[in-house]
Amino acid sequence: MDRIRIVGGNQLNGSIPISGAKNAALPLMIASLLTEETLTLENVPHLADVEQLIRILGNHGADYMVNGRREAQQAGYSRTVKFCAKNIVDTTAPYDLVSKMRASFWVIGPLLARMGEANVSLPGGCAIGTRPVDLFIEGLAALGAQIEIEQGYVRARAPKGLIGARYAFPKVSVGATHVLMMAASLAHGQTILENAAREPEVVNLAECLNAMGAKIHGAGTSTITIDGVTSLSGATHQVIPDRIETGTYAMAVAMTGGDVVLEGARADLLESALEAIAATGAEITPLNTGIRVRRNGAGINPVNISTEPFPGFPTDLQAQFMGLMTMAKGRSHITETIFENRFMHVQELARLGAKISLSGQTAIVDGVDRLKGAPVMATDLRASVSLVIAGLAAEGETIVNRVYHLDRGFERLEQKLSGCGAIIERISS
């Protein structure tokens, strides 16, 4: 199993290209099941989750080409991937596939809307919380789907098609918003989704669906209106830059000091996070080509944050911010309101010398003058990169184990950081 070795102490200077957003690419790829025609996606990141979803879509009959070639294992940034699901050969998403990536459950929406049926395995538990699929099921039922849960599978039927309806999410859910928006695109009549997620990835999907012929209004607000159409066509659409990757590297610069341009990043996608990073003492400058992040070596200011749905501070940057706060000049409070059990990185940061205590949903971080390298274990995707951020500033050598978590969401992380002066390398078993 691969590991990442880091020798801390170097500032970061240079530029880092920001990849396409994983959280935008996955629903866009699933949207290819809604049409017989080819959906071309640009700026698709090369990540383990993307490759896994390609295999899952293939199980349903979708074919693909990467940069004009059939092989998926192509290096490089900004890949163009073409998906064609002309013939859906299977409406079942089996447990052995769904269990490997939770987002694969989302195929239930397009399959049900286009084929009138879907048999999708329940995704099971998750390292950062239960994340139940109740909202997906309730929302599809509101659109007229007949749903049963048998032997661990959600069996959904709509033989005469889905029917537009008004549905208010009991709580904000990005995944459920994706699924209902896709399903409602092919429903009969109008659907109104209230208390919908406002994340940029939802807007990106709506823009793609509209390019395919859907009629969606209000994406990016809490009320989305979808007027169903009889069919969707192919389209060409670009995946937005990854705001979580952007925030992660911005925090890495704030942690180590230095001067880095995050190429292709968009400040409007993560304003709350950038404001919090700026409050720590880093200088954030939006550019025409990206975002410049600088810190001149002065101390890191403690900052309190609480995760919230967009446009609030993203839960997917909480662990990274905690890594940054471990060396702040004072005490900070980090409150997690989105997912339960998302503080598993605390014990691993403590192995590097961090002083963190937990009180319910809040982590209390007392900054220390220095961290010391040590072997640590990644517990999930975002937790793993918080250890990288801390390791970049720690004295001596840090070894991050279980880096397959990193490969799920960060494209060429060690190459991007080493290109800016970090001593970081992958060690293959």
Is 55 annotated to bind ligand? no
- What percent of the chain stands above pLDDT 90? 85
- Digit-coded pLDDT (tens) for 353-388: 999 999 999 999 999 999 999 999 988 877 889 999
Q: 84, 126, 208, 420: which one is catalytic?
A: 126
| Average pLDDT value for residue range 260-272 | 97
In angstroms, the first-to-last Cα distance of the chain is 5
Helix locations, 156-270, DSSP H: 174-185, 200-211, 243-256
SS3 state at 418: helix
Domains of the chain: 3-18+242-427 (3.65.10.10), 22-238 (3.65.10.10)
CB 57 within 8 A of CB 49: no
Is 135 annotated to bind ligand? yes
Q: In this predicted structure, what is the pLDDT of residue 73?
A: 47
Q: What is the mean pLDDT of the chain?
A: 94
Predicted confidence band at 315 (pLDDT cuts at 50, 70, 90)? very high
Is 334 annotated to bind ligand? no
**How many CB atoms are closer than 10 A to CB 169?**
18
Predicted confidence band at 340 (pLDDT cuts at 50, 70, 90)? confident
Of 47-56, 65-74, 172-181, 250-259, the one with minimum mean pLDDT is: 65-74
- Digit-coded pLDDT (tens) for 74-99: 445 679 999 999 999 999 999 998 88
Predicted confidence band at 136 (pLDDT cuts at 50, 70, 90)? very high
Active site residue 126: yes
Q: What is the pTM of this model?
A: 0.95
Predicted confidence band at 238 (pLDDT cuts at 50, 70, 90)? very high
For residues 312 and 297, give the distance between their C-alpha atoms in angstroms, rounded to a whole number: 28
Q: Name the token pair of 265.
A: 């990043």
Is 100 annotated to bind ligand? no
CB 66 within 8 A of CB 25: no
Match 């490089």 to its residue by tokens: 76
Is 155 annotated to bind ligand? no
CB 272 within 8 A of CB 302: no
- Digit-coded pLDDT (tens) for 167-222: 999 999 999 999 999 999 999 999 999 999 999 999 999 999 999 999 999 999 99
